[in-house]
Amino acid sequence: MGSPIFSLLCLDKQDKQPVYLQLANQLMGLIRTGPLNAGQRLPSSREMSEMLQVHRKTVVRAYDELLAQGWLESHTGSGTFVARHLPRTEVQTLTDNKSASFNPQRTAGFSFTVAPHLERPVLKATSHLHLDDGFPDSRLAPVEELTRNYRGQMLHGNPYVRLGYGDTTGASRLRQELSAYLNETRGLHTTAENILIVRGTIMGFFLVATGLVAKGDHVVSGSMSWGGASANFIQAGAQLHTMPVDEYGMDTDALEQLCKQKNIRMVYVTPHHHYPTTVALRADRRLQLLRLSEKYGFIIFEDDYDYDFHYLSKPLAPLASADKAGMVLYGGSFTKAISPAFRVGYLVGSENVINYLAKVRRIVDRQGDLMLENAFAELLHTGVIHRHLRKSLRLYRERRDLFCELLRTELGSDLSFQVPVGGMAVWTGFDRGINLEKLAEKALQKGLYMYDGHSFNRADPTLNHTRLGFASSSPSELEQAVGIIKKIIANK
């Protein structure tokens, strides 16, 4: 019974894990790795307790745990044994294939390939100062009202209903409130049955690409476009074509020529404020895009990511508001309106498509956060979101004007830009002598985050552009940010 095998057991009575579980897990490990083999007899509980200097009941509980899990078997009058049905395991030795430094917690034992389209930077809020991709100022978010509404959802009503499974299309009340809101503010013609609630636009687009685009299908986006759309198209196995984008948006004449050559399945557009350039798709091109969709039968995915923030006039009506043929899928979220932390978005389309995409959604995510969705419904019902958007629009317009003035007066000789008519960022072209990657790196060292424009400039090597977001920064923060950039450029 004094087998050296059991000298490998090491129990720590100060550990948070109960001692009996430590013993059970360590015995399990010895069985897995080979020192203990199928059919081998274990010391009695008394012998093991003396050997390890623990109470006998501790050993009994450990043995009972392994008996229940099928690792051990007990024979009355004979003792406790490693279960005979387990395969015999040779004691593992490290070979040339697995070096002594191999760590399975860090590296899997099997191989896989990370496709290039999945290699996209993950933006995180780490710096005090930021000229981001165009995010809202979360300090303005109606957090108190949302917290109160969420708490109400947690505490009131039938707990079986509010804490149980719900509709895969999303909370019924949010779909009803959102339908009325979209009809009023965007001129859509919807009912709750036309809306699928999702966890942000990216999830909605994943469902669309997965459910409506087949391998080999031809799809279209702008020559510069949102990376999330392109990644989903590629993941679906589609053939991606890009159309030129100028000061009037996507070139729909070029799109028509492509339609004559290829059977286009889907076109992805951000017509209100094209991403990343912020230009609006001109009225004649909007009409032509809808006409081409009907003529050639392709789906339009309209990503209206920042509809609420248009400064020149009233926001332009979405393509979906003029869609008479059921060819447009309209996607949006509360990311830009409230905060990226609250993952509530929506897809709008014909009822049969929404029902189908809800089935696709179910194999990815059974449902969203129903309490959060109902809390957002309350924000819509009470007008909190309307008031918040009016306040935010005023502040963001002021910040846009200040930021553009700072860029003009402090950095005018080193960059060029057009004052955006909407959105939360300025599409900015830097002098070719300025290395944007090095500029962004040095800025980060000084506490300022700015995107280096890598994905944009890789798509078009003639560019040296990036997006500089202004909405999430206060006036003083914008002044500090521009000051940092000015000093870096002056000392290059």
pLDDT in tens, 138-152: 899 898 888 888 888
> Which of 237-247 are b and which e, b meaning 16 or more Cβ less than 10 Å from the residue's Cβ?
ebebbbbebee
What are residue 347's DSSP bridge partners?
A: 196, 331
pLDDT in tens, 16-61: 999 999 999 999 988 888 788 888 999 999 999 998 999 999 999 9
Of 235, 174, 125, residue with least CA distance to 369: 174
Phi, psi (deg, nearest 5) at residue 229: -70, -50
- Predicted pLDDT at 336: 83
Architecture of domain 129-134+387-490: Alpha-Beta Complex (3.90)
The CATH 1.10.10.10 portion of the chain extends over 4-82
Can you tell me the mean pLDDT for 192-198?
95
Inter-CA distances, 416 with 207, 217, 430, Å: 38, 38, 6
State in Å, rounded, how far the first CA of the chain is from the last one. Answer: 74
Architecture of domain 142-383: 3-Layer(aba) Sandwich (3.40)
In this structure, are residues 269 and 304 in contact, taking their beta carbons and an 8 Å threshold? no
Whole-prediction pTM value?
0.80
What DSSP line would sit under 330-375, residue for residue? EEEESTTTT-TTS--EEEE--HHHHHHHHHHHHTT-S---HHHHHH
The CATH 3.90.1150.10 portion of the chain extends over 129-134+387-490
- Predicted pLDDT at 103: 80
Structure tokens at 177: 């409130």
Can you tell me the mean pLDDT for 411-440?
92
In this structure, are residues 33 and 92 in contact, taking their beta carbons and an 8 Å threshold? yes
Higher model confidence: residue 382 or residue 340? 382
In this structure, are residues 318 and 351 in contact, taking their beta carbons and an 8 Å threshold? no
The CATH 3.40.640.10 portion of the chain extends over 142-383
Can you tell me the mean pLDDT for 432-440?
92
Identify the band that residue 1 occupies on the pLDDT scale cut at 50, 70 and 90.
Answer: very low
Identify the band that residue 397 occupies on the pLDDT scale cut at 50, 70 and 90.
Answer: very high
Structure tokens at 100: 């002594």
Domain 4-82 classification at class level: mainly alpha
pLDDT at residue 95 tops 60: no
Identify the band that residue 320 occupies on the pLDDT scale cut at 50, 70 and 90.
Answer: very high
The whole-angstrom separation of Cα 408 and Cα 430 is 12
Identify the band that residue 107 occupies on the pLDDT scale cut at 50, 70 and 90.
Answer: confident
- Predicted pLDDT at 91: 55
Of 79, 98, 80, residue with least CA distance to 31: 80
Whether the ω angle into residue 276 lies within 30 degrees of 0, i.e. cis, is yes
> Would you say the C-alpha torsion 35, 41, 42, 47 has a positive or negative sign?
negative
pLDDT at residue 171 tops 60: yes
Q: State the Cα angle at 15 between 9 and 19, rounded to 5°.
A: 50
Can you tell me the mean pLDDT for 209-227?
91
- Predicted pLDDT at 92: 55
The whole-angstrom separation of Cα 390 and Cα 393 is 5
- Predicted pLDDT at 93: 55
CB contact set of 414 (below 8 Å; sequence gap of 6+): 430, 431, 434, 489
